[in-house]
Structure 1
């Protein structure tokens, strides 16, 4: 079976439309349509119900989905086994959200590789949705992220807290409500907390989904917003940014998620070193 067709099928399922799947796969919509049509002909069943609003799985499509995920996983594992250098005993597949690679995972990888040079590490940066999907499909050994989704067969363990504080480009900034306030989407928990803390807030002039973008914006053009305390510390010390009055702080916990059973020796060792790294990080922030 053509694995490009299988991969395209899974991307359409995730995206909910041929157009968004094409954008994600960096191919044309006609290519996506042709791959799905060929797959449906090969299987002898329609896999999707096409509507103007998008696509949904047919009964046959729902039955095929777990098999497609398994095929992709087997291919991935085969590639890893073939590509494994002769002096390596195992491959560790780790996923994390962008800000957590910057916060702890890059430093952890360096320390772990120094301790275990016989274990190759493959790192993945992704969205919460894609990371959880790849973990469930067996493509990742563990994931580090904020606000994980509880799933049967997986354990969620808290690693650390990230402190978010409001800072501004000038000392007298009024905070939310100002035209240059930047709202960073730190997740649904932060969104709910922000609404409770600032009930008069009616929206920001700039709304961003990535903290680094908002941070660069206020450094370049001015404004205020919530950012990790560790990120803004140097700018506050240099008096390029200022804490906003008595603005409350938000604790954003980070977690590691991994299967409850069947962990390899290298995964157990990696999790132990990650917990150690998180403890060391907490003592310095």
Structure 2
């Protein structure tokens, strides 16, 4: 069983709302529902009583909650103990745009500056990146779209200028009359 299912269960139990739990975990509401359903199938018990305007733990849910909390704490301690090993590892994840703009050029200088540190780099979607940050599964996130979270410290690494190009086959008059749509992550501009 994936520990994230138990973390999801604990968040739903705390918020008493699938939508709020999904928002707090940076998941979709359907992902939260699917995880709870899988837990219920695994334990062969309903964990929540779903009423029109309320969500309550069942007796089975009440029994599972302290075990879920203990398991989550134990696994976090294990992760922390393993990170205290002699080999230091820096886990970095970024979005595709951040990789192209910044990170792929910086990995070699970073490794040269810190040869004793093992560096692991992944390219993820912004949603996956946000979830990994909040689960403390990565040390550093690099993205072109800042996170909206009080739990995350955001530092601007660089600024990039964008330039617009068009084919020389277009006449100047045609180019002026065309609709231009620029998509850069969630910040989209129409000209």
Paired position in structure 2 for 1:140: 138
Please, which runs of 5 or more residues in structure 1 have no aligned partner?
23-31, 52-56, 199-285
Q: 151-160 vs 165-174, which deviates more?
A: 165-174
Describe the SS at the equivalent of 1:77.
helix
Alignment pair present for 1:168 and 2:166: yes
CA distance in 2, matches of 1:67, 1:175: 61
1:187 corresponding residue in structure 2: 185
User: Residues 160-188 of structure 1, C-alpha deviation per residue, up to 9 Å, x if partnerless?
Assistant: 1122222123353515745xx6x443134
CA RMSD of aligned residues (A): 4.3
Deviation (angstroms), 1:41: 4.2
Cα 1:33–1:156 shift into 2, 3 Å: closer
Aligned length: 163
Does structure 2 conserve the Cα–Cα contact (< 8 Å) formed by 1:93 and 1:141?
Answer: yes
- Runs ≥4 in structure 1, deviation > 6 angstroms? none
Alpha-carbon distance, 1:139 to partner: 0.9
TM-score normalised to structure 1 length: 0.44
Query: Are residue 46 (structure 1) and residue 45 (structure 2) matched?
Result: no
1:148/1:59 Cα in 2 relative to 1: closer, same or farther (>3 Å)?
A: farther
1:6 aligned residue: 5
Counterpart position of 2:40:
37
Long gaps (5+) in structure 2: 10-17
- Residue 136 of structure 1, CA deviation: 1.7
Whole-angstrom distance in 2 between the partners of 1:41 and 1:185: 46
Name the SS of the counterpart of 2:158 in structure 1.
strand
Distance change in 2, residues 1:126/1:73 (3 Å): farther
CA deviation vs aligned residue, 1:110-144 (integer Å, no higher than 9, x gap): 11112222211121212222212211221111211
Give the counterpart of 1:17 among 22, 27, 30.
Answer: 30
Q: Which of 150, 153, 170 lines up with 1:152 in the alignment?
A: 150
Contact 2:97 2:144 in 1 (8 A): no
Larger proportion of strand: 1
**CA 1:100 to 1:72, structure 2 compared with 1: closer, same or farther past 3 Å?**
farther
Aligned to 2:14: none
**Matched-pair contact (CA < 8 Å) for 2:3–2:72:** no
- Offset, 1:98: 0.7
